[in-house]
Structure 1
Amino acid sequence: MICKQVPLKKGKAIKMRFPFSKPLRRSSDEGHKPALSAASSRNRVVIAMGCFIAVYGVIGGRLIQYGMTDLEQGRSYGSINRNMAARPDLVDRNGAIMASDIRVASLYGEPRRIIDPDEAVEALTSVLPNVDYKEWHRKLSSGAGFVWLRREITPKQQAQVLALGIPGIGFRNETRRFYPGGPNASHILGLVDIDNAGISGIEKFIDNQGIGALQALGLDASEELAPVRLSIDAGVQHILRDELMTAMDKYQAIAAGAIILNAKTGEVVAMASVPDYDPNNPFNANDKDRLNRMAAGTYEMGSTFKAFTTAMALDSGKVNLNSRFDASKPIKIARFTINDFHGKKRVLTVPEVFIYSSNIGTAKMADVVGIEGHRAFLKKLGLLDMLKTELPETARPLEPKEWKKLNSITISFGHGVTTTPLQTAMAAAALVNGGKLIKPTFLPRTKEEADAMGEQVISAKTSAEMRYLFRLNVEQGSGRNAEVDGFYMGGKTGTAEKVINGKYSSNVRFNAFLAAFPIDDPEYVVLTIVDEPKPVEGQYSATAGLNAAPMVQSIIRRSASLLGIQPKFHNDREALQVSY
């Protein structure tokens, strides 16, 4: 610093400090730059003022915009959590609401504003149940700016807490998902978590379509989202689940399930699996016995697979309805013996093999086609690959790593391959709808859209022959108990022995019944399953004809009118004439 003495009039001097590291130069010194002009200084001031005016103008404009926006719309401008983001309603095919958002209050605390944490927690305990005193005291003593205390409380509880008047305790409105039907379609609709994000079922499917990304960013729509329409009929869905609950109790089964599939479009009209859960209170949703057995469980489908084996043989051209197979003696291969449950001990025609559910005759039909042809046919029907639908919960079928003759024989009558009931229903629809395989969907689909995407897997002639066999089995075979007067239906039973401790058990069964109606021009396929049923009073057996078939009868009788199928009580329908 340079200090310079300046003389004063009275002879005194003071020190003047200049913030320069070097002495000041005169204007005539070398390298001196002239000072900025007055005009240039004024320009800079004007520019600075303009910038300030522009910035504050924008801020003021936004404040006016927020002030003129209603509360609900204003949420979209704020920094909000994903639990405030709206979800679209889920509605059935007729517009009935199956899932919707409701507003609920959640309790929070601001520890920095809490005067006495002990007093605050004690007061809250007096009006709220199940308060964790130590945990809440820890939160309210943390000094944090914000802590959640309890999410989604009732209006009554909110009023009681407000009456306490505790500083630093407040409420925040959140969005909660509500399912008016309770457990009616829980496995289809799925669940959301505490932050209203889809974690299963159609709810998760919606998030995967983009809603989840908006929620994750904390964005909310200022207008209500358009409802997502499903292919489900809520009324039919209720009937289906009600019949399953009744059957599970009647047959003392560990589980039951059913599906109604539109044979011409692939739309799932109803699907249920019990035990299930209430999505409004899903405390037991993850229990293993509450699995969605129709789409996320794989099973040996038993004699229902004989329908696919028969269709394969007929469609190959090597077998026709008049072909005969010797079922008088068991088939012995390796260390195994293949026999019939109720053997006729004689030569059987193809229709007799079907209605008597002959393992021997069915195995010999598969042998005519061959091992490679057998596997290729089941793969063409979609029974060996994982099925992709809107539901994320889908199981992968299991098959032998290497198909040998023994595998082909046992698979021909439903043992040795596991697949989902939903896939079984899909493949069955192809057998009766004219031969088109149409992937199932839980969203609306038109007949034209289905025809465009459908794949011809069997000929129309084979499909007509299978419709005849299905009807014949209800009239004369194991499907008699599924008959519904006026609705002209057909079907096939399936009784599969379950594997217990590595061995097939003759007393523990997984039963199914596969049906279609009206069988002359099928609109719907119905598949029921019942896991480990017990004989009812007065019966000594629990085969599919005694439980899974009556389940189909009850479902069709109650739901046919809702599905638009009217009964016809006349005898002018004639089945395909076949001599054997």
Structure 2
Amino acid sequence: MSLANLVPHGGGPAWRWLIERVWRLEHAFERSRAAAKPEDDTSIRIFFVLALFACAFMVLAVGATWAAVFSSAGKNGGFLAAMEGARGDLVDREGKLLAVDLTHYALYIDPKEVWDAKATRAALGKALPQVPAKRLDKAIFGDRRTFLLGGLDPAQKDAIFNLGLPGVEFEEQARRVYPLGVSAAHFVGFVDGGGKGLAGAEGALNDDIHAAAAKGEGAAPIALSIDLRVQAALEDELRKAALEFGPKGAVGIVTNVHTGEILGLASYPDFDPNDPGKASDDAKLNRAAASVYEMGSTFKAFTVAIGLDTGVATPSSTFDAREPYKLGYRTIHDYHASRKILTLVEVFQHSSNIGTARLAEGVGAQRLSQYYGNLGLTKPAKVELRESARPLTPKKWDTDAVASTSFGHGMNVSPLALARAFGPLLNGGTMPPLTIRKLPPGVRPEGPRVLSEETSQQMLQIMRANVTGGSGKTADVKGLSVGGKTGTGEKYDPTIRGYNHQRQVSSFAAVFPTEGPLEADRYFVLILMDEPHGTAKTFGFSTGGWVATPAAGRVIDRIAPFLGVQRRNELIIAGAQPKATTPGAGL
């Protein structure tokens, strides 16, 4: 047989080289035997075996190198990223960690591998007091491998592992961890046991968060819009106000009116997203997005803006508030009857229901309802959060609906919807959506124009006047041109078939700075208390001016440096003048 006959059909030069070497080696064996030199025969055979082993190891080395450098194995962030339900990291706008997947461990018992069942039972019973005795007995004395406990961190796992108990086994598992606990809990949200987002940003951006994990360790985290410094100040002041006035719930919001970014969002009471199962549904309720309220007099800002934008009124227009105003079948009263003719600015400052209703009547039902729609008040707030609630609006826009909604009754909206609707009043008249994502620096999303720039400029001045000389005085901060509007909405009580004067939704909607060009950076702040209780300090009053306005001022005072808002010396001097406080003021 010739060498050519040994080469497979279609074999290339590599095959020919290999066959040639084997052929020569075999002939070497034959020559050794023919020459009667068995030692040469043995040496050649040993050399041949060693060469085969060397080739095998070379192939393994090349394969391992290829797998490490070129293979996709291990490029998905290791075990956690490859695991079903793995999620990418969430950070605030400054890169501070909000949520992360960490390796935890599940503990299993395999009875077949247990050497001493009684000793194992005693050791685990002491090490795991949280595991019910019956469950532990069933796992140790049973006949099959059983899951006993999950969510063990590395230290807990090591403590049990070091007991040296045969039959006690561990498996890695991914667990979502929120290192800041209750902070920003309603904004960040939480996940279920399988890694699916159920609420907050975790739910709203669920697909994107999973996709980030699939990209592996080098993937950038998802940056959210909140600033943890702003969030901390907002939560702290909201909690202190809630503890002082004992509401059933409270809300705090901070937004950038030009970009729609939510810089801070707090809902009271709060919960720990690391263990949402222990929290009540009430604590987990995101009141900023999922609850709707009759907002009361903060709605007067919209009515006044609409009156200005339609040309029905100017800041100097006058309205007769000397007597209660009859509109349709109802008679409208002022909470603090001034009994005089008021300019539009004074209507806003005194929070006159009479003056606002007269203005709304001039606007008319059709235009008023259209503007409310354009401001987003007749739909769920446009934001990524799934919790965004649908408002309750009048079924029929008659004279009663016009009067009621003009001062914030007869229409229930979420705090986030209110925050978004205030945007055009403060940013030059456009309506960007709210967002929980951090936007690139300098980006200002375009939104439809709903008010003129002139109207927006006038509203900034009117809201500033309300803080310097109206119901928002306690929100005035030295060096900062704060503007705002108080709000107190009485809640409908079905037991009395009417509004209950003792159950109120009290709020303050603020903006700063009001000075500067319309395109200047500007921020909106909302503090809301649901059914607060007056104290001796507030003379028993629980209206927005007493319970919400001071907290809003403290929030603004604390967050201004974080947002780069500079204090002005002339405003510090003006703000040094003492302001008289009138009992009951601040509707």
User: Is the shorter-chain TM-score for this pair beyond 0.5, marking a shared fold?
Assistant: yes
Output the CA distance in 1 between the equivalents of 2:228 and 2:472.
28
The answer to whether residue 502 in structure 2 is matched with residue 507 in structure 1 is: yes
Matching of residues 18-417 of structure 1 within 5 Å: 64-65=63-64, 69=68, 74=74, 86-111=86-111, 113-114=113-114, 120-139=120-139, 143-144=143-144, 146-209=145-208, 211=210, 221-333=215-327, 335-417=329-411
Q: 1:496 to 1:85 in 2, by over 3 A?
A: closer
Which position in structure 2 is the counterpart of 1:524?
523
Whole-Å separation in 1 of the counterparts to 2:339 and 2:492:
27
Write out per-residue CA displacement over residues 39-58 of structure 1, whole angstroms, 9 at most, x where no aligned residue: xxx999x9xxx9xxxxxx9x
Report the structure, 1 or 2, having the larger helix content. Answer: 2
- Give deviations 1:202-230, integer Å, cap 9, x for gaps: 12233223617x98xxxx55434311111
Which residue in 2 is equivalent to 1:559?
A: 559
Match of 1:26 in 2: none
* Residue pairs, 1:437-476, within 5 angstroms: 437-446=431-440, 449-451=443-445, 453-476=446-469
**Distance change (3 Å), C-alpha of 1:388 and 1:109:** farther
SS in 2 for 1:401: coil
* Cα offset, 1:408, TM superposition: 1.4
Instruction: Give the drift of 1:386.
Output: 1.2
Gap change, CA 1:265 and 1:223, over 3 Å in 2: same
Shift, 1:514, TM fit: 0.8
CA deviation string 1:303-347 (max 9, x = no partner) = 000000011111111222222222222233455321110111222
Residue identity opposite 2:305 in structure 1:
A
For residues 533-570 of structure 1, give each alpha carbon's deviation from its aligned partner in whole angstroms, at most 9, with x where no partner exists.
22222413121111211011100111111111111111
1:513 Cα deviation after fit: 0.5
Quote the Cα distance in structure 2 between the aligned partners of 1:489 and 1:177. Answer: 40
1:510, distance to aligned residue in structure 2 (A)? 0.7
- Per-residue CA deviations over 1:86-128 (Å, capped at 9, x if unaligned) read 4222111111222223222221233554567666444421211
* AA partner of residue 455 (structure 1): P
Gaps of 5+ in 1: 1-41, 51-56, 575-580
Unaligned 5+ segments in structure 2 are: 1-6, 16-55, 575-587
Q: What do residues 462-500 of structure 1 show as CA deviations (whole Å, max 9, x unaligned)? A: 111111110111111101111001001111000111223
Distance 1:243 1:517, change over 3 A: same
Task: Indicate if the aligned counterparts of 2:328 and 2:399 stay in contact, CA closer than 8 A.
Answer: no
| Matched AA of 1:516 | V
Contact 2:481 2:571 in 1 (8 A): no
- Distance (whole Å) between structure 2 residues aligned to residue 366 and residue 334 of structure 1: 13
Fraction of identical pairs, as percent: 37
Deviation at 1:141, TM superposition (A): 5.9
Q: Deviations over 1:423-470 (max 9, x none)?
A: 11111121011111111111122576425x221110111111111110
Contact 1:256 1:531 in 2 (8 A): yes
CA distance in 1, matches of 2:167, 2:274: 30
Q: What whole-Å deviation, never above 9, does each CA across 1:351-386 have from its counterpart, x for those lacking one?
A: 111111111111111111111111110000011111
More deviation, 200-209/394-403: 200-209
Q: Give the TM-score taking structure 1 as reference length.
A: 0.81
1:547 corresponds to: 547
Cα distance 1:79–1:479, how it changes in 2: closer, same or farther (>3 A)?
A: closer
The DSSP-based 3-state class of the residue aligned with 2:93 is: coil
CA contact (8 A) 1:313 1:319 kept: yes
Rounded Cα–Cα distance in structure 2 between residues aligned with 1:268 and 1:261: 5
Residues 264 and 433 in structure 1, CA contact (< 8 A), matched pair in contact too: yes
Contact 2:209/2:222 (<8 A) preserved: no
> Take 2:356 and 2:180, find their aligned partners in 1: how far apart are those partners?
44
2:568 matched residue in structure 1: 568
**Separation of aligned partners in 2, 1:62 and 1:302:** 75
- The 8 Å contact of residues 249 and 267 in structure 2, kept in 1 or not, is answered as yes
Distance in 2 (CA, whole Å) between partners of 1:343 and 1:293 is: 33
Aligned residues: 518
Instruction: Measure, in 2, the Cα distance between the counterparts of 1:130 and 1:278.
Output: 20
Partner of residue 486, structure 2:
493
Q: Given residue 522 of structure 2, which amino acid in structure 1 is its aligned partner? A: E
